[in-house]
Amino acid sequence: MIRLAKSVDATTIAQLSRSQIENGLPWRWKPGRVQHYIRDTGSTVIVSESENRLSGFAITSFAETSAHISLLAVDPVFRRQGIATLLIRWLTQSCRVAGIGCIRLEVRATNIDAIDCYLSLGFRKVGVRKGYYDGREDAQLMALVLINPDIEAQRPT
Ligand SMILES: CC(C)(COP(=O)(O)OP(=O)(O)OC[C@H]1O[C@@H](n2cnc3c(N)ncnc32)[C@H](O)[C@@H]1OP(=O)(O)O)[C@@H](O)C(=O)NCCC(=O)NCCS
């Protein structure tokens, strides 16, 4: 089940970020920062629940025509069960309804598993940002195009 995050989820999300995403880097996504994104009207924090506990999450910010996934992780206990797929599907459906044509993200260039996961969900590699992670590691930039403006323009009204 996917639902919007509540304030009480902030600590679990921050801990998952620390252990599963920010390992080896300074801990930037502490509970207070996650809390800010839960309340921010320009962002959405969604969580998955499995066996009555939080099993994954995604933090996404929205601009007029694109969205940006800042963080996404699934608890190791619940991986390869389609949870990241459900989180991304929830986001893509919301973006389509809102007329948002593209979802972007950065992922650690060494994180081959996550890159493979995003590729399997239709994302493409669109560039590399050198030293993006604290000057220590490059980011692989990825994007999922949801709306082809040319095709949209040809649709009958
Ligand atoms: C990457 C991550 C989010 C995937 O979550 P998940 O719920 O296990 O992913 P799914 O079950 O939806 O997998 C969907 C598809 O992605 C690919 N995939 C997922 N994990 C993979 C892995 N470890 N290696 C290779 N391909 C993988 C597969 O094609 C998979 O389909 P399949 O299981 O039918 O083969 C999870 O491993 C994770 O949280 N990693 C640590 C945090 C992280 O790297 N976050 C991303 C950067 S912010």
Per-residue confidence (pLDDT) for residue 151, from 0 to 100: 53
106 is catalytic: yes
Question: Considering the chain, what percentage of its residues have pLDDT values greater than 70?
Answer: 94
Q: Confidence class of residue 148 from pLDDT cuts 50, 70 and 90? A: low
pLDDT recorded at residue 147: 75
Candidate of 79, 89, 138 to mutate for ligand 1, largest count of ligand atoms within 8 Å of Cβ: 79
Ligand 1 pocket, residues with Cβ under 6 angstroms: 20-21, 71-74, 79-85, 107, 111, 113-114, 116-117, 120
- What is the topology classification, in CATH, of domain 2-154? Aminopeptidase (3.40.630)
| Active-site residue, selected from the candidate residues 37, 118, 132, 133 | 118
Instruction: Report whether pLDDT(149) > 70.
Output: no
At 9-26, the pLDDT tens digits run 999 999 999 999 999 999
Query: Per-residue pLDDT for 63 more than 90?
Result: yes
* Whether residue 153 has pLDDT greater than 90: no
Q: Given ligand 1 and candidates 21, 68, 80, which is best to mutate, with the most ligand atoms within 8 Å of its CB?
A: 80
Q: Is 152 exposed, middle or buried (0-12, 13-18, 19+ CB in 10 A)?
A: exposed
pLDDT exceeds cutoff 70 at 27? yes
Quote the DSSP letter at residue 65: S
Centre of ligand 1 from the C-alpha of residue 80, in Å: 6
17, 24 contact by CB (below 8 A): no
- Per-chain mean pLDDT for the chain: 94
Q: Could you read off the pLDDT of 71-101 as tens digits, one per residue?
A: 999 999 999 999 999 999 999 999 999 999 9
DSSP secondary structure letter of residue 15:
H
